[in-house]
Amino acid sequence: MRKFESVDGQMLIGGVRATEIVKKYGTPVYVTDEDAVRSNYRAVFNAFDKRMPARINYACKANTNLAILRILEQEGSCIDAVSIGEVEACLRAGFTPDRIMYTGVNVSTAELKAVAARRVPINIDSFSELERLAMIDPSLPISFRVNPEVGAGHHEKVVTGARSTKFGIPKDRIVEAYAEAVQLGFRPSGLHCHIGAGVQVADPFVKATEVLVSIMQSIEKELGLRLDFVDIGGGIGIPYHPEDHAMDLDALAEGVTSLIKNGTSAKRIVVEPGRYIIADSTVLLTTVVDVKETPDKNFAGVDAGMNTLVRPAFYGSFHHVAVANKFDRPAEATYDVVGPICESGDHLAKERALPRVEEGDVICVYDAGAYGFSMASNYNMRPFPREVLVHKGTVNLIRERETIEDLMRNQRIPSRLML
């Protein structure tokens, strides 16, 4: 959780008063601090690169805003993309194809063809994908995603490395996959796994790396194939709760790079953080529109809901909240912060001690940069909100708010229904 300054009881974001941003851009609005994105990227890159040559593939599913992709392109980041849409966004933001790696799951042949046409390296998830890609273009750089049978994460829905999940090639068939790839004319260059998301400790990453190292050794021994990189995936957690501990990046980097350096001839480690880079760079500002006191609870009703930020409703995730225009005031009451969506599960925060809240107050939801906008929806026919970028006291609009008209643009009423 990032610490924010205040002036005259007003929360500051990147040197700008939250209330000033709200006055100009309205709410709900996602606000990203450019310096935070850059410093998070540098922290993770340096932790690994000082130990062995490292490549950071920013997992852009966390946040694909083009301005944010531009910032990371400038920093020298590379990309983990999971769809042709993400690939196209990253190309638009200036990434060259060799700086993108496509890791899909249940990939259609049409999507494989589209990614291959862009000359983007493909990290293969199944034998079926391998065989279909061989018919499209065996000259493409490839690697494989293995299911390491090591899973971890903040919620069962985000554990991807466990044996029972849909992801990756089973561990006991992975050497066979490399052998088949070579036979089909490919020259595989790396091995990848992703254990899950929101992992706060180094241990599961170390365990998964042990599996990767042992597979690399088998591939070298049985096939005489030396791979260039080991990719440990993403999933580095952040402290959403004030009492959470931040991941010890040095311990993580030391644990995994020492195994790779001692056990393989790989030249490079690849890490795919999404959340770590973008989550705490961004807050969601939302206005209190209705305050309701019931026998059981006080509700602060706001204009952002599960349509704007789904994590609390979907995963039961904790996001810290504060009243941005009463930033220095002590807590006076306990509130659930709830949105305008017609679901009882529509909440942003539960049972939070806050200063007394009134209509017109601005609630700041912390750590909203990862899987915030990117998982937003139009549920209840609510348009997507604006996004702005704050940089050393200036604010730029980086996504316009959708309109009600936008929501209807692609719909068609058959003429027979208009009679």
Ligand X SMILES: Cc1ncc(COP(=O)(O)O)c(C=O)c1O
Using CB under 6 A as the binding rule, whether residue 313 contacts ligand X is answered as: no
Using CB under 6 A as the binding rule, whether residue 272 contacts ligand X is answered as: yes
Contact between 30 and 282 under an 8 Å Cβ cutoff? The reply is yes
Q: How far is the CB of 237 from ligand X (least distance, A)?
A: 7
Q: How far is the CB of 372 from ligand X (least distance, A)?
A: 12
Is 60 known to be catalytic?
no
* Residue in 135, 144, 120 with CA at minimum distance from that of residue 184: 135
Using CB under 6 A as the binding rule, whether residue 62 contacts ligand X is answered as: yes
Contact map string, positions 158 to 177, toward ligand X, x by CB under 6 A = --x-----------------
- 60, 90, 193, 342: which is the annotated catalytic residue? 342
Distance CA 376, CA 66 (A): 16
Residue 225, classified by CB atoms within 10 Å of its CB into exposed (0-12), middle (13-18) or buried (19+), is middle
Paired sense of beta strands 142-147 and 122-124, if any: parallel
Contact map string, positions 92 to 131, toward ligand X, x by CB under 6 A = -----------x----------------------------
Number of residues near ligand X (by CB under 6 A): 19
Sign of torsion over alpha carbons 320, 326, 332, 334:
negative
Using CB under 6 A as the binding rule, whether residue 80 contacts ligand X is answered as: yes
Q: What tokens does 362 get?
A: 């601005």
| 315 vs 379 by CB, closer to ligand X | 315
Residues 232 to 261 in contact with ligand X, rule: CB under 6 A: 233-236
| 233 vs 355 by CB, closer to ligand X | 233
Q: How far is the CB of 371 from ligand X (least distance, A)?
A: 7
| 154 vs 320 by CB, closer to ligand X | 154
Strands (E), 40-86: 54-59, 78-81
User: ∠ CA 128-129-131 to the nearest 5 degrees?
Assistant: 65
Q: How many helices and strands (H and E) does the chain possess? A: 12, 21
Contacting residue, 99, 194, 268, 347, with ligand X by CB under 6 A? 194
Using CB under 6 A as the binding rule, whether residue 372 contacts ligand X is answered as: no
* Residue in 59, 56, 62 with CA at minimum distance from that of residue 43: 56
| 105 vs 251 by CB, closer to ligand X | 105
* Residue in 330, 242, 313, 203 with CA at minimum distance from that of residue 232: 203
Q: How far is the CB of 273 from ligand X (least distance, A)?
A: 4
Give the rounded distance of the alpha carbon of 151 from its chain centre: 18
| 274 vs 312 by CB, closer to ligand X | 274
Which residues are annotated as catalytic? 342
Binding site for ligand X (CB under 6 A): 59, 61-62, 80, 103, 160, 194, 197-198, 233-236, 272-276, 370
